[in-house]
Chains A and B, each alone.
Chain A
Amino acid sequence: MKDLYLVYKNLTRKKMRLFLTTFAIFIAFLIFGAIMTLRGALNSGVEMSADNRLVVVHKTNFTNPLPYSYVNKTKAIDGVKQVTHANWFGGYYQQPANQVVTFAVEPESYLAVYPELVIEPEQRKAWLNNQASVLVGQRIAMANGWKVGDRIPLSSNIFSHKDGGQTWDFVVEGIFTGAEEKTDTSYLLFHYKYFKETQSWGGDSIGWLILTTVDASMNESVAKAIDSNFANSNAETDTSTEQAFNKAFIEQIGNIGLIIFGVVFMAFFTILIVVGNTMVLAIRERTGEIAVLKTLGFASIRIFKMVIIESCLLAFLGGLLGLGAAYLLIQGASENLARFLPNLVLDQNIVLQALGYILLLGLITGIAPAISALRLNIITAFNRG
């Protein structure tokens, strides 16, 4: 495009104005990239949950335990495919500040219900065969520098070891990765049986049940059947899809979606006004020049395009810089936050969305001045000048 040089010169003719508008757009897309990534990380639990997976928790409070007998009772219900269970261990590594999410599970059934956890066959076998071992998620292994064969002491801030103290010694027998980038690999799994045998209270209660249904369409009927089965017992249950469960959990943190939407929307709206206004002023200043170009024979539509391209270039300049900065920011943060927000990644979807918004910003801010440039009448423009 021959006019690109002209567009470029117009864009850069006022350095300060270029800097300020670029900066405004930069900030908008820095916020956009960072916040969308954060939202993605918070929601990934919801997104990643299989749609035929149900979670059964105590009706009164999901932290209350359920009797172990519920495992077999649930298995007997129509439409249930696989059942597993988990207990919260409340672990930390070396010091209480270094929390590690640890579940005591029934290994085989747990891996069956969570097929997205990927383990090498030998490691899987080793973990199944060693009662005093842990299977570690890749992300948390990396954060702590654990390798297969390492001995790691894990302490519980809830349970005591029957030999005294609150620390269990484990061997890392395997490291699991996720089938997808967003699969959560920031926790540890160890044997439920070993947990019950080695902790001081004993008992055989479980934290919650996870089950899969034969088909997602049966989710609702299965959930109803389970809850009515345990109704009027001393441990009534609340069964929901894993998606709903994770969502409810996030909603307890606050309505993140709404807050994020509000912030992004306000940032965008402000920047839209600032940039749009700047473009209108910039083009109005050039009335005489546009009239000259038209006199020389430049078609109106060509000038229209030049204005649109200029506003789009501006949007992409600021927007891409902002996205780049968001990427670097997230890279830095994800190393430190891996433990709490395992899925802090600025993924392709966010980038594509951002590119869409950048283009939209360019078009919206360019359209009004481009139309006035298109309509500009040579004679009136010269009479005015």
Chain B
Amino acid sequence: MSNDNLFELTQVAKRFTKGKETISIFHDLNMQIKEGDFLAIMGPSGSGKTTLLNLLGGVDQPTEGQITFDGQRIDNLSEGQLAKWRANNIGFIFQFYNLMPMLNAARNVELPLLLTNLNRNERQKQVKVALELVGLSDRANHMPSEMSGGQQQRVAIARAVVSDPKFLLCDEPTGDLDRQTADEILQTLQLLNEKFGKTIVMVTHDPSAAKFAKQTVNLNKGEFVKAEELLA
């Protein structure tokens, strides 16, 4: 095991049980993600991309196998421990932004900081920095309903990075955006990766989105396949 691996998945299996039926998503998944990587995960619908992100993000637990983050096992943490771990280490970016509709942009970005010991003043400072980073300083007081999809996704990115996590997880972050807006969002992610050293895993359907990543892997039926194999 080399030390610059942020994530290591070893012999991970994941099954869902619905009544009598058991769906097996992963049988024996092995994976390493290096610190500073920007990894795109592609693959057909239902191939297990979201399930993989959920495992990486500590939102879900593997049925079998080990997941370590920064050398520490997370697959055996309790729900409460995982919540704390997520708050400290992971920034989430969703396809549909998932902003709180009753909070303005600044208050939305502030949410993860409510889980820290920072006082209101310090929180506001950090929110300001995060909004500047995504180019939305002038929208701090706008409600989500007053913003375009691209702007909302920027707010969501600001929310994901405001508490300075090492790791960003993006599930089809541009799936709901037009080409140009999508490219702007992807450039922002690239910036976060290159200039701020964030390790990013991004699920996408879109090959041109994947081009922004440093590496692309393909999932098919719960297994990684070479891109050439998928194309062939």
Contact = CB atoms under 8 A, between A and B. Distances in A.
Interface of A: 2-3, 5-6, 9-10, 12-13, 288-289, 292-300, 378-379
B33 interface: no
Contacts of B88: 297
A22 B79 CA distance: 36
B102 A297 contact: no
A288 B115 CA distance: 19
Given A9-B103, A296-B92, A298-B83, A3 B114 contact: yes
Interface string B13-57: 000000000000000000000000000000000000000001001
A220 B120 CA distance: 69
B107 A297 contact: no
Closest 5 CB pairs of A and B: A297-B87, A13-B102, A9-B102, A297-B86, A292-B98
B112 interface: yes
B103 A6 contact: yes
Contacts of A6: 100, 103, 111, 114
A299 B80 contact: yes
A297 B84 contact: yes
B87 A379 contact: no
Contacts of B86: 295-297
Given A9-B102, A295-B86, A379 B114 contact: no
Interface residues of B, number: 25
Given A292-B98, A295-B59, A378-B60, 14 more contacts: A5-B107, A6-B100, A6-B111, A13-B102, A293-B111, A295-B92, A296-B159, A297-B85, A297-B115, A298-B87, A299-B80, A299-B84, A300-B83, A378-B59
A296 to B, nearest CB: 5
A292 B114 CA distance: 14
Interface in B97-126: 98, 100-103, 107, 111-112, 114-115
Contacts of A299: 80, 83-84
A58 B82 CA distance: 81
A383 to B, nearest CB: 9
Contacts of A5: 107
A298 B115 contact: yes
A379 B103 contact: no
Contact of B57 (A295, A298, A300): A295
Nearest to A385: B96
Interface in B166-184: none
A136 B159 CA distance: 73
Given A6-B103, A288-B98, A297 B83 contact: yes
Given A6-B103, A9-B103, A288-B98, A296 B57 contact: no
A296 B98 CA distance: 11
A379 B83 contact: no
26 contacts: A3-B114, A6-B111, A9-B103, A10-B102, A288-B98, A289-B98, A289-B101, A292-B98, A292-B100, A293-B111, A294-B83, A295-B86, A295-B92, A296-B86, A296-B87, A296-B112, A297-B84, A297-B86, A297-B112, A297-B115, A298-B115, A299-B83, A300-B79, A300-B80, A378-B59, A379-B59
